[in-house]
A and B are shown apart, each in its own frame.
Chain A
């Protein structure tokens, strides 16, 4: 018997399975799949594992939760609410919290996991954006990601409303306010959603079905599609030694990546269990049951809805009255415009960038953010836009804790929402250029060694040593941003698409988008000091059949 042969106990069952479902071939191909290694490639897994934990803890919660709006007098073990009238939903959440063994812990882990689910999606999305990993062929996966984020917000909103406490009721009231403010169909939507007048007796059970069945089902399907596409298309990798658009450098899925990924699941679970144990979240027993007449100071939504709250808070009280109909702009604009700008902007960005650069090639090497300064600046401007709104969602606490008059925070917010993104764009742009120059400096002159030499002439110089090879390779991975030109071709005739006004705008955008990057050369001896004379790199109209991008 040879030592190479697998033991009988393993060989038997595995060939049984292999003969029937043919998994051996599949596993042979896929277990050795190579995954590139970079800490930021694990950020999406925060969301993935949080989702797994959400499913498990959520299932536990459904065992005890009652999605009813019938009125009951509380008779549980939390004294300050005994005898208080409340909905069955709220009473059962109190029951989970105080009378089910481990209920409070599971509730808290569920809520923290919800926050980390969305936060994990956001940091993952930012990583993908800033490294340009959404480029062809991954645009569809990017779109799935945007859809996942939107659904996660919806899932969070429905889950936040289920305990039917005073705070979630405030959120529900705003949701109803937004629904009813939509022209023409608003009242119908509101009556349909709530089964009559707000709050009615149906909304909790309806949100329950959405929260535990429909939205998680779609999320699960989309997450699977997201992962399969990632698997099939292979992961992008950071530029570096030996890494090209046609290979993947890293560790095989089994055992290396599997171990890391498994460890990361445990880390995520550990952090969530830690938070669920030491940090109290959503203390519904403090909020009290929902009655439409009551409202608490400092009523905020969970963080991912904070930007909508902020938009509502800084919006001036505008409305249009026309023929007896009211168009409440003060609700419609903050509810729809920031969400529209951010989600539509995210969804369209890969296609807008392709249109502007005319770049239809596949990309498997990630960009370093500094090497595409306009993209990075647009991203930072968007973060600032979102961040200002998010911050202003908590303006009452900023006002109370930092002793700033409330209206001052509102007024600052109204200015900052326009000025902040512009400023962020400018600062980021300059930082990217400066970092590129720094790279060029390192590549062409090496790094400071700390050794000072005195020349015979009396001059002091610092000895520079060549930088580590992997660093240089990483920096040299920079790729020029392609651009289309509006100029005439060899025969002196401008291409068809470029003659229209839109074509000219496109050419202008393209030139701007690609400017300032090729100028900073990393070839080690070129103009490493950031001269701006060199025109952008590639030429070609970017039309079909003219994909002549290169040098």
Chain B
């Protein structure tokens, strides 16, 4: 007979058991149940403090076009930008880390450029946390999700040819689109940025969400793109890897050019000049 057996008839025992059960339930719930939006954003994109810091960065660098609450602005001829509610942390990370945002000059499409001084991994994370807190959206992938070494380049190549090369060319050298837009060169893009671009569909690009192309398939495609960019061209200089256009230029300028020089050389005669 121990002490618990002795006290189980105690008048307060039922309250003690109830308390124990409730705290157990609460504890399990707290461990298993999904957290709130705010908490989720803080977990996914950094710390909860990031949201406040991100809001300040947003007000300083983004709000002039996207509005003070990221609701978007429109003014014909002036600075305007779309609403960022729901675009997600992935979109922010893609746009800001690749230097496309902040947008320096109005143009049909934001070019990749060197990011401004204030951009670093911390500020990008804070900004992303703030935008994520507004309405959710795709989050930044983990390093494992974009690790080219874990993907299958052969499978990725088939997906890449089926989905990407219409605009980005067969090795991702980019290509022209209508109305001043273009599909950018994929070579400078990091694996994370490639993943984010597929998940968020920036600018003229369509969204390839997880039900269209699964995260594993995205990783295969990243593996293919990275394999192609790291490949040493076996046939000599790749001539920009853009197909027959540069080949034609080389054939005419180098090929015909050299042969004309050779023809001039072997038919050259010493000029017989008579001096009187």
Instruction: List residues of A whose CB falls within 8 A of some B CB.
Output: 37-43, 46, 79-84, 97-98, 104, 108, 111-112, 115-116, 119-120, 123, 166-167, 260, 263-264, 267-268, 271-272, 274-283, 286-288, 291, 293-303, 306, 394-400, 403, 405-407, 468-470
Contact B228 A80 (CB under 8 A): yes
Interface-central residue, B176, B247, B250, B272, by most chain A CB under 10 Å: B176
Determine how close the nearest CB of chain A comes to the CB of B202; give it in whole angstroms: 17
Which residues of chain B are near A306, meaning CB under 8 Å?
A: 244, 248
Contact B154 A283 (CB under 8 A): no
Q: Within 8 Å of chain A (Cβ to Cβ): is B211?
A: no
Q: Within 8 Å of chain A (Cβ to Cβ): is B71?
A: no
Q: A405-B179, A406-B176 are in contact. Are A115 and B248 (CB under 8 A)?
A: yes
Which residues of chain B are near A274, meaning CB under 8 Å?
A: 258
Determine how close the nearest CB of chain A comes to the CB of B177; give it in whole angstroms: 7
Which residues of chain B are near A280, meaning CB under 8 Å?
A: 233-239
Contact B153 A303 (CB under 8 A): no
Q: Give the size range of B's interface with the partner.
A: 35 or more
Q: A39-B260, A84-B154, A468-B271 are in contact. Are A167 and B243 (CB under 8 A)?
A: yes
Contact B175 A396 (CB under 8 A): yes
Q: Within 8 Å of chain A (Cβ to Cβ): is B158?
A: yes
Supplied contacts A37-B269, A104-B234, A294-B166, 13 more A-B pairs, CB within 8 Å: A39-B268, A81-B154, A116-B259, A120-B259, A260-B266, A276-B236, A279-B254, A280-B236, A294-B162, A297-B176, A306-B244, A407-B179, A468-B271
Query: Which listed residue, B161, B178, B233, B238, touches A288 by the CB 8 Å rule?
Result: B161
Q: A280-B239, A296-B165 are in contact. Are A38 and B256 (CB under 8 A)?
A: no
* Closest B residue, CB atoms, query A302: B244
Which residues of chain B are near A120, meaning CB under 8 Å?
A: 256, 259
Closest 3 CB pairs of A and B: A303-B248, A297-B175, A280-B235
Q: A283-B235, A301-B244, A468-B273 are in contact. Are A295 and B169 (CB under 8 A)?
A: no
* Closest B residue, CB atoms, query A160: B244
Q: Within 8 Å of chain A (Cβ to Cβ): is B34?
A: no
Contact A119 B153 (CB under 8 A): no
Contact B259 A268 (CB under 8 A): yes
Complex: A120 Cα to B260 Cα, angstroms: 10
Contact A288 B244 (CB under 8 A): no
Interchain residue pairs with CB less than 8 A apart (18): A43-B263, A79-B154, A80-B227, A81-B154, A82-B154, A115-B247, A166-B165, A167-B243, A264-B266, A271-B259, A275-B250, A281-B235, A294-B166, A296-B165, A298-B243, A300-B243, A406-B177, A468-B274
* Closest A residue, CB atoms, query B267: A39
Q: Within 8 Å of chain A (Cβ to Cβ): is B85?
A: no
User: Interface residues of A: mostly helix, strand, loop or mixed?
Assistant: helix
Q: Within 8 Å of chain A (Cβ to Cβ): is B60?
A: no
* Closest B residue, CB atoms, query A300: B244
Instruction: List residues of B whose CB falls within 8 A of some A CB.
Output: 108, 153-154, 157-158, 161-162, 165-171, 173-180, 182-183, 224, 227-228, 231, 233-239, 241-245, 247-248, 250-252, 254-256, 258-260, 262-264, 266-269, 271-274
Contact A108 B154 (CB under 8 A): no
Determine how close the nearest CB of chain B comes to the CB of A430; give it in whole angstroms: 26
Determine how close the nearest CB of chain A comes to the CB of B276; give it in whole angstroms: 9
Complex: A454 Cα to B154 Cα, angstroms: 83
Total contacts A-B at CB 8 Å: 203
Interface-central residue, B162, B255, B271, by most chain A CB under 10 Å: B255
Which residues of chain B are near A104, meaning CB under 8 Å?
A: 234-235
Complex: A274 Cα to B251 Cα, angstroms: 11
Which residues of chain A are near B260, meaning CB under 8 Å?
A: 39, 43, 123
* Closest B residue, CB atoms, query A400: B176
Complex: A301 Cα to B243 Cα, angstroms: 9
Complex: A468 Cα to B254 Cα, angstroms: 34
Complex: A291 Cα to B179 Cα, angstroms: 29
Complex: A299 Cα to B247 Cα, angstroms: 13
Complex: A299 Cα to B166 Cα, angstroms: 9
Which residues of chain A are near B258, meaning CB under 8 Å?
A: 267, 271, 274
Which residues of chain A are near B267, meaning CB under 8 Å?
A: 37-39, 41-42, 260
Query: Which listed residue, B165, B224, B247, B273, touches A303 by the CB 8 Å rule?
Result: B247
Contact B274 A298 (CB under 8 A): no
* Closest B residue, CB atoms, query A114: B251
Determine how close the nearest CB of chain B comes to the CB of A81; give it in whole angstroms: 6
Contact B241 A283 (CB under 8 A): yes
Contact B178 A407 (CB under 8 A): yes
Query: Which listed residue, B158, B174, B250, B264, touches A400 by the CB 8 Å rule?
Result: B174
Which residues of chain B are near A46, meaning CB under 8 Å?
A: 256, 259
Which residues of chain A are near B239, meaning CB under 8 Å?
A: 279-281
Q: A37-B269, A281-B235, A400-B175 are in contact. Are A264 and B153 (CB under 8 A)?
A: no
Q: A294-B161, A400-B174 are in contact. Are A281 and B255 (CB under 8 A)?
A: no
Which residues of chain A are near B173, meaning CB under 8 Å?
A: 298
Which residues of chain A are near B269, meaning CB under 8 Å?
A: 37
